Structures are given as structure tokens and as C-alpha cells.
Structure 1
Amino acid sequence: MKNTRILTEGAIQLAIFTVLLLISLYMPFIGIIATLFLSVPFIIFTIRHTYKNGLLLLLVSLIPSVWFGSIFSLPMAIMFGSSGVVMGHVWSKKQGRYILLLVGSLAFLINIVLLYIGSVLFFDFNFAEEIKVMMEEAFQNAQSIFSQVGQLPAEEVEENFQQALDLAIYLLPASLVLASVFLAWMTQLVTAPILKRLQIKIDDWPPFRDLMLPKSLLWYYLIVMILMFFPLEQGSFVHIALLNIFQILQLLMTIQGFSFIFYWAYQKKIAQKWAAAIVVLSLLFPFLLYLVRILGIIDLGFELRKRLKD
């Protein structure tokens, strides 16, 4: 009886996944939204029937992925399916939303990296190089348009463009990390209401004001910042690695700063909408982000929250 119930629900979740996959493949605008739900059937099935059955569902889902899509839809099915199984397993263990976000991000990141490596090895398609070529062609087209009206861009503009393009390519690893975090966060966002509707008990997000990153990140941030002052060969592995780690750590310090702002507003009994307004203003005026980042560093290093309580 139990196996029959598992097979029945597995068939239902497989059908839901197949419909979502077809929508994501063949309906351009709605497909973007449908893509965010691709992991949901695997999450629900794994929570109810353990990760072993979730992996079995993942293997079976590859058949309709190729049958109704193509061989190129396999990576999408594997990425969202495996990430769904991992997130469903962690969700069933009730280890907290931040752990779920971390593990889900790692699952998506591993899939994205493997997809990138596979595209280079088997299809000779380098995503980074293609973007660089497209941007260079767009800039050359812009140059030709300016030349037709008798206005050529200054050499300084060309140099700045090339430097910005190189920087964008160098920061590709950090961009992949952020994309993975975004996918894991969005997956949680769309899945939580469904799980609650199905009466599956899940933990709520802890208040953002209580977020405290590990203090060790501050030491990593300082070490990387010091290493950045050393003369490094532009485009070398060490240079690119430090650049990406530094950007991610800067983002984490900024998040810590925003968390402190919400904590300060809560302690001072100030409406949370004003703290949210500060976040919006910081995003609109980037120079404010430097102040928020410094605030996050001070909060992490000198425990400002304890001083507010005293």
C-alpha cells in the first residue's frame, strides 16, 4: 500500500514537472515564471518520501525531458531536479532557512559550473567568450554609427570600455555565485506557500534584523583586501580569484550593515518602513552603500548590537 502511494504521488509530481518544463521551454514570457517552479515537485516529493525516492523521481524525469524537449533540455531538468532533491532533504531536516539557502545555492552553483564546463568541452561553446564577442561587436557598431555622423569616440572611452568588459569577464565566477543564490532564494520563495497549503510544517524565516554573519568573514575580508594591494598580474588566476572573493565579501558586509539598520530601528522602536527606505536609498545612491558596508564591518567586529542593548 505504501509503495503504491509513493508511485501514485511520484507520477503526479512527474506530470506537474513535465507540464512546467514544457511551459518553460515553449512559452517565452510565462516560461520564465514556470522555470522558478521546476524544483517544487522534487522538493515536495523528497520531503514526503526521503531523498532516495527523490533521486529516483529525478532519474525518471529525464525521460519526458528528452521526449518532449530535446537533449538540450536535460541540463535544465538535472539542475532543477537535483537542487530540488537537495533542498527537499534539508527542508525535511528542519535545519533553518539560512542553511537551506546555503545548501540550495551550492547545489545550483555546482550544476551551473558543470553545465558551463560541459558546454565548453562537448559543444565548444564558451559563454564568457560569447558575451565578450557580442559586447565588442555592439561597441564596434556604435563606433561605426558615430563615424558616419563625424564623431568618433575618444581613445579614453575605448580604453574604459575595454577595462569594463575585462572586469565583467573576470567577475563571472562571482556572478555565477550570485545567480545560484538568487535561484535558491526564489525557489524557497515560491515553494513555501505551496508547502503551507499542503499542510507540510516548515520553519519561517528568522527576522532579518537578527542576521549575524560569522565573525571569521571579517578576517577573510581584511586579508583579501590587503592582498589586493600587492602588484598582481592582470587576468592571472590569483588576481581573478581575489577579485571575485573580494566582491562577494563586500556584498556580505553590506548585507550585515542592512541587518544592523533593521536591528537598530527595532531597538529604537522606529517603524521598519523607515529602515526599508534606507535600503532603497542606498541602492539608488551607491555611495551610501559604502557607509552601509562600513557599518556592517563595525557591527561584525565590535558587536554594536550589544552596545545598543546596554
Structure 2
Amino acid sequence: MKNTYVLTEAAIQLAIFIVLFLIFLYVPFLSVVALFFLSLPFIVFTMRHGYAPGFMLLAVALIVSSLIGSLLSLPVVLMFGTSGIVIGIMFAKKKNRYLILTVATLVFLVNIVLDYIISVKFFNLDIISQTLSMLKESFHASMQIMKGMGQEPPKEMQDRFQQMLEFVQYIIPSVFVLSALAAAYLTIMASIPILKRLNMPIGTWPPFRHIMLPKPLLWYYLIILLATFFPLEKGSFVFIAIINLYYVLQLLFLIQGFSFLYYVAEQKKMARSIVVVGTLFCFFLPFLLYVIVILGIIDLGFELRKRIR
């Protein structure tokens, strides 16, 4: 009887997934929205029946997807299927939502890296190189238009554009990390309202003001900061690794800094509207973000919150 119930629900969740997958493939405007609901059938099924049936559902979904789509669409199914199973396991174990977000980000990141490697090695399809080439062609076309209008393009503008392209090539790993984080967050946020309607245990987000990073990150940041003072060959593995770790750690300390400011605002009983407007204002003045990064480092190192209490 139990096996019949599991198979019946597996068929229902598979049907839901197929509908979402077809929308993703063939409905232009809704495809982006449907993309972040692809994990939902796997989350629900895994929360109810465990990870082993979840992977069986994924295997069947891969077969069906290859029949209604193409081989190039299978990585999408694998990415959102595996992330859905992991999120379902974490929700079922009632883990902290920030921990769920972290683990889901790692799963998405592994999938993104593997998909990129496979597309380059087996399909000779390098999306990053093609995107950069398109940017170069668009820029050169703009320069030709300016010349045709009798205006000489400023050399400073061309130099800055070349530096920007070079910089983008170096921070591709950081872009992968941010993309994985965004995909994990949007997938979780899209699933939560429906999981609530199904009366499934999903917990709540701990207050943002209580976020505290692990203290060892301070030592990692110090090591990376010292490494930036050494002459490193541009484009080398060490150079790319250091620059990406530097920006990822800065992003983490930026989160720590904002968390500290939210904590102070809560202690001082500030209006939520003031806090939100202040946060948005910081993003319009980039130099303030560096101040908040430093504030996050100080908060983590010297435990400013205890002093405020």
C-alpha cells in the first residue's frame, strides 16, 4: 500500500515537473519564472519520502526530459533536480535556513562549473568567450559609428574598456559563485509559499541582524590581503585565485557589516523604513560599501555587538 502511494505521488510530481519544464522550454516570458520552480517537485517529494526516492524521481525526470527536450536541456534538469533533493533533505531535517541556502549554493555552484566544463570540452561551446566576443564587437561597432560621425573615440575610453574585459575574465569564478547564490536564494524563496500551503515544516529565516561569520575568515582575509602585495603574473592560476577569494571575502564582510548596522538599528529602535532607505542609499554611493566592509571586519574581530549591549 505504501509503495503504491509513493508511486502515485511520484507520478503526480513528475507531471508537475514536466509542465514546468515545458513552460521553461517553450514559453518565452514565463520561462524565467518557471525555472526557479523546477526544484519544487523534488523538494516536496524528498521531504515526504527521503532522498533515495528523490533520486529515483530525478532519474525518471532526466529520461522524460531528454524525450521532450534535447540533450542540452538535461544539465538544467540535473541542476535543479539535485538542488531540490538537497533542499528537501535539509528542510526535512529542520535545518537553519541560512545553512540550507549555503548548501544549496554549493550544489548549484558544482552544477554550474560541471556544465561549463562539459559544454567546452564536449560541445565546443564556451558561453563566456562568446559573450566577451559579442561585447568586443558591439564596442568596436560603436567606435566605427563615432568615427563615421567625424568624432575620434577617446583613447582613454578604449583603454578602460579593455581593462574592463580583462577584469571580467579574471573574476569569472566569483560570477559563478554569485550566480549560484542567486539561483539558490530564488529557488528557496519561490518554494517557501507553496510548502507553507502544504503544511510542510520549513522553519523561518533567522533575523538578518544576528548573522555572524566564522572568525577564521579574518585570517583568510589577512592572508589574501598580504598576498596581493606580492608581484603576481597576471592571468596565472595564483593571481586569479587570489583576486576571486579577495572579492568573495569582501562580499561576506559586506554582509557582516550590514548585519551589524541592522543590529544597531534594532537596539536603537530605529524605524524599518529608515534602515531600508539607508541600505539602498549605500548602493548608490560605492565608497560607503567599503566603509561597511571595514565595519564588518571590525565587528567580527572585536565583537562590537557585545559592547553595544
TM-score by length of 2: 0.98
State the distance in 1 between where 2:224 and 2:115 align.
29
Q: Deviations over 1:205-242 (max 9, x none)?
A: 00000001111111111211111111111111111111
- Shift of residue 167, structure 1, vs aligned partner: 0.5
SS across alignment from 1:29: coil
Q: Which residue matches 1:40?
A: 40
> Contact conserved, 2:92 with 2:201, CA < 8 A, in 1?
no
Q: Which residue matches 2:195?
A: 195
State the distance in 2 between where 1:273 and 1:104 align.
31
State the distance in 2 between where 1:237 and 1:131 align.
22
1:174-253 matches, within 5 Å, as 174-253=174-253
SS across alignment from 2:50: helix
- Shift of residue 187, structure 1, vs aligned partner: 1.0
Q: Which residue matches 2:14?
A: 14
State the distance in 1 between where 2:136 and 2:190 align.
38
- Shift of residue 139, structure 1, vs aligned partner: 1.0
Q: Which residue matches 2:141?
A: 141
- Shift of residue 156, structure 1, vs aligned partner: 2.2
- Shift of residue 263, structure 1, vs aligned partner: 0.3
> Contact conserved, 2:91 with 2:201, CA < 8 A, in 1?
no
State the distance in 1 between where 2:293 and 2:308 align.
19
SS across alignment from 1:223: helix
Quick one: which amino acid aligns to residue 57 of structure 2? Answer: L
Q: Which residue matches 1:25?
A: 25
Q: Which residue matches 1:292?
A: 292
Q: Which moved more, 1:109-118 or 1:150-159?
A: 150-159
What residue ranges of structure 1 are gaps of 5+ in the alignment?
none
What residue ranges of structure 2 are gaps of 5+ in the alignment?
none
Quick one: which amino acid aligns to residue 265 of structure 2? Answer: A
> Contact conserved, 1:171 with 1:240, CA < 8 A, in 2?
yes
Quick one: which amino acid aligns to residue 164 of structure 1? Answer: M
State the distance in 1 between where 2:253 and 2:143 align.
39
TM superposition outliers: structure 1 runs of 4+ over 4 Å: none
Q: Deviations over 1:290-310 (max 9, x none)?
A: 11111111111110000001x
Quick one: which amino acid aligns to residue 89 of structure 2? Answer: H
State the distance in 2 between where 1:154 and 1:194 align.
54
Quick one: which amino acid aligns to residue 202 of structure 1? Answer: I
Q: Which moved more, 1:254-263 or 1:90-99?
A: 90-99
Q: Which residue matches 1:281?
A: 281
SS across alignment from 1:65: helix
| Structural RMSD (CA) | 0.9
- Shift of residue 154, structure 1, vs aligned partner: 2.4
How many corresponding residue pairs? 309
Quick one: which amino acid aligns to residue 64 of structure 1? Answer: V
- Shift of residue 188, structure 1, vs aligned partner: 1.0
> Contact conserved, 1:262 with 1:272, CA < 8 A, in 2?
no
- Shift of residue 58, structure 1, vs aligned partner: 0.1
TM-score by length of 1: 0.98
State the distance in 1 between where 2:272 and 2:161 align.
40
SS across alignment from 1:153: coil
SS across alignment from 2:10: helix
SS across alignment from 1:28: coil
State the distance in 1 between where 2:265 and 2:190 align.
29
- Shift of residue 195, structure 1, vs aligned partner: 1.0
Alignment of 1:270 with 2:289, yes or no, is no
1:97-116 matches, within 5 Å, as 97-116=97-116
Percent identity between the aligned chains? 52
Q: Deviations over 1:229-283 (max 9, x none)?
A: 1111111111111111111111111110110111001111112221222110011
